Structure 1
Amino acid sequence: MRSAAGVIGASTGNDRVAAESIVVTPRSPEDTLQVYRPVCLPVGMFKASVILVLMWSSGYLGAEMAARYSSWHMLLSCRFAVAAVLLIGFCVVRRLRITRAGIARQVGLGVVMQGLYLGAISAAVGAGLSPGITALICSLQPLVVAAVAVPILGERIGPREWLGLAVGIVGVGLVVGGKMNSGGAPWWAYLMCAGGMLALVSGTLTQRRINAPESMAAALAVQCVVGAVIFWVVNVIVGEMVPPMTFDFAWSLAWAVGFATFGGWGAYMWVNREAGPMHASTLLLLVPPATILISWPMFGDAIGPWEIVGVAVSAVGVAIKLIGGRAHSGAQQTAPRRTPARATEVRGPELVRE
């Protein structure tokens, strides 16, 4: 079938010929061929997004388990030390190399994303800040990323994306609304939590902007070494050098290394590289609802009706944001491009101009 806007359909006596040989003849020089981007997520990105939400939620669950047996800095120091050893061994076996410039880049990212972010958040919770308020403050990350995405990355945020972010944050508020008891946390705990959130925003945008060529395993290995050094220094300062030698602590440590570090941070870095900081940050809006749902069977935490409503509202908000973002991105990529009025014959993957 001949069409000015593109191939709409074709049917001839020979289906094979119709599928492999279609002639498109523009009616005038003004006609253009536009390709519309699908608004649904690719299967690989959808799987990575689900893994990110579940694994990131596991970090909070692991911290809750470990808090019963050790301090937050002891858990983080052991977590990063074990993860660094495993990742370095993996890189040696796979012969993954990293340059000095790459090491320098990842050291900087490790200080910001592992040291400042996790250190500030953990210290705030350790000072008495409730997990509900912590989750609510951290849920503001997508708004901060959206506000600075235009000047730093040149990304445009459409109205539907802003609507999705707003709906998602309302959902988070409903989820954590029943758990807002601060427990008498000092004022600086709130500042540390906000500072940790800003540190993650800074590291996320920097990682996307520099577009580092090193493999994710090598990059995460360097960051884990940095995190281990930072939190072992904290252990030395407070005089806590020996971790608890119990099965419960070992189990919580294995949980943190396997799920939070390898699963959570690995998925976050991959999604940020492939889909951008807005996509990765928006998915974190689903972490508080997912944490609530998972902690119910694990720790017996009760789930009220407002929390169930909040889970649904958060999911709707994230869906609006992601679908609106892909549609907006697709519209930007389909700008008209004028082509000369010549017949174009398409044979399979090849283009032959007459």
Structure 2
Amino acid sequence: MNFLLSIAFVLCWSSGFIGAKLGAGSASAVTILMWRFLPLAVILIVVATVRRTSWRGLAVRDVARQAMIGVLSQSGYLLTVYYAIQLGVSSGTTALIDGVQPLVAGALAGPLLRQYVSRKQWLGLCLGVSGAAVVTMADAAARTGVAWWAYLIPFLGMFSLIAATFLESRSRARVAPAVSMTVHCATSAVAFVALAVSAGAATPPAELSFWVAITWLVALSTFGGYGLYWLILRRSGVTKVNTLMFLMTPVTAVWGALMFGESFGPQTALGLALGLAAVVVVHRGATSSTRVRAGDTVGGEAARPATRPHGPWQST
């Protein structure tokens, strides 16, 4: 089941970069994001009103925390990704820059979440970064006319998503996925409506391609990618699930090459191979380290398991 969820997550999350590229030709980033989240938020709020059981026991501070997580993980992250693509950064390169996230998250998981990161996992993380770097250099060399600072924008989104991940992990309240999705989408809808109205970009274009992109983003990226992101984090832990982010770069690069004719050569293929190797190494490292800890003994008695963090991302 975890393997199938991982495949679905990689494909759905990668679809977000492709959907952003689809919509970039007909509207600005804030217009796309406004119409992606506004109808979705209305639907989710109606469903939440009918099904109130998931909201029982939640304090106001719990909802406020989820709203902040929504601002970081959706509003901040997506706005930077869409804006970078609008400026001309390719979907593959944008995904690649976000691919640095697992290394940063892995480095912070120990001191902040008290999650064990083995040497094999570190090796896998470094392999993944190497694969992402190979794809980035190949893509940057093939594109001209894009300002150098445009490549820095996705880094802001990467740090925004990491901040959201650790903010949620520090919470002691366990929030149902349906509740968190509703709060996140409603918060993003408010933020993007305000941005679009202030920029005079609230009116959607009449092109069919725009609405195709919106449907694509809602179905695949939001419900698929974003929903699976939180689900897999809760099942597998922050280090293992973030390793899957290494696959976003090569998968998006292949997808972008097929749909938009973006460059895909030997270097991109090498990056894909390194990304796959990174996932294998990290997951095997996690499995072997679990066996070692389970078999360790202290004074003839089984050693206690490592302290697990509070929140939904306890390793299972």
> TM-score, normalization: structure 1?
0.77
The answer to whether the Cα contact below 8 Å between 2:34 and 2:202 also exists between their aligned partners in 1 is no
* 2:35 aligned partner: 78
* 1:112 aligned partner: 72
Q: CA deviation at 1:163?
A: 0.9
Identity %: 34
Q: Deviations over 1:130-156 (max 9, x none)?
A: 444433321111111111111101112
The answer to whether the Cα contact below 8 Å between 1:205 and 1:277 also exists between their aligned partners in 2 is no
| Structure 1 unaligned spans of 5+ | 1-43, 341-354
Match of 2:206 among 231, 245, 266: 245
Over the aligned positions, Cα root-mean-square deviation in angstroms equals: 2.2
Q: CA deviation at 1:186?
A: 4.5
SS of the residue aligned with 1:97? helix
The answer to whether the Cα contact below 8 Å between 1:59 and 1:259 also exists between their aligned partners in 2 is yes
Match of 2:194 among 227, 233, 236: 233
Structure having the larger proportion of residues in helix: 2
Q: Deviations over 1:73-107 (max 9, x none)?
A: 11111111122123223334444432333321210
Match of 1:146 among 96, 101, 106: 106
What is the alpha-carbon distance in structure 2 between the residues aligned to residue 59 and residue 279 of structure 1?
21
The answer to whether the Cα contact below 8 Å between 2:92 and 2:252 also exists between their aligned partners in 1 is no
The answer to whether the Cα contact below 8 Å between 2:35 and 2:214 also exists between their aligned partners in 1 is yes
> TM-score, normalization: structure 2?
0.86
Q: CA deviation at 1:185?
A: 4.5
* 1:19 aligned partner: none
| One-letter amino acid of the counterpart of residue 273, structure 2 | A
Q: CA deviation at 1:195?
A: 1.8
SS of the residue aligned with 1:113? helix
* 2:307 aligned partner: none
What is the alpha-carbon distance in structure 1 between the residues aligned to residue 301 and residue 71 of structure 2?
50
* 1:90 aligned partner: 47
The answer to whether the Cα contact below 8 Å between 1:97 and 1:218 also exists between their aligned partners in 2 is yes
Closer, same or farther: CA 247–136 of 1 in aligned 2, 3 Å: closer
* 2:24 aligned partner: 67
Matched, 1:155 2:115: yes
* 1:325 aligned partner: 286
Give the alignment of 1:123-202 within 5 angstroms: 123-181=83-141, 183-186=144-147, 188-202=149-163
| One-letter amino acid of the counterpart of residue 137, structure 2 | G
* 1:20 aligned partner: none
* 2:219 aligned partner: 258
The answer to whether the Cα contact below 8 Å between 1:171 and 1:309 also exists between their aligned partners in 2 is yes
What is the alpha-carbon distance in structure 1 between the residues aligned to residue 281 and residue 67 of structure 2?
36
| One-letter amino acid of the counterpart of residue 97, structure 1 | S
Does 267-276 or 295-304 show the bigger shift?
A: 295-304
Does 188-197 or 63-72 show the bigger shift?
A: 188-197
| Structure 2 unaligned spans of 5+ | 303-316
What is the alpha-carbon distance in structure 2 between the residues aligned to residue 136 and residue 298 of structure 1?
18
* 2:268 aligned partner: 307
Closer, same or farther: CA 305–190 of 1 in aligned 2, 3 Å: closer
Which structure: larger Rg? Answer: 1
* 1:122 aligned partner: 82
Q: CA deviation at 1:321?
A: 1.1
Closer, same or farther: CA 85–137 of 1 in aligned 2, 3 Å: same
What is the alpha-carbon distance in structure 2 between the residues aligned to residue 283 and residue 271 of structure 1?
10
The answer to whether the Cα contact below 8 Å between 2:91 and 2:252 also exists between their aligned partners in 1 is no
Closer, same or farther: CA 201–149 of 1 in aligned 2, 3 Å: same
Give the alignment of 1:288-307 within 5 angstroms: 288-301=249-262, 303-307=264-268
Q: Deviations over 1:34-78 (max 9, x none)?
A: xxxxxxxxxx22121111100000000100100111111111111
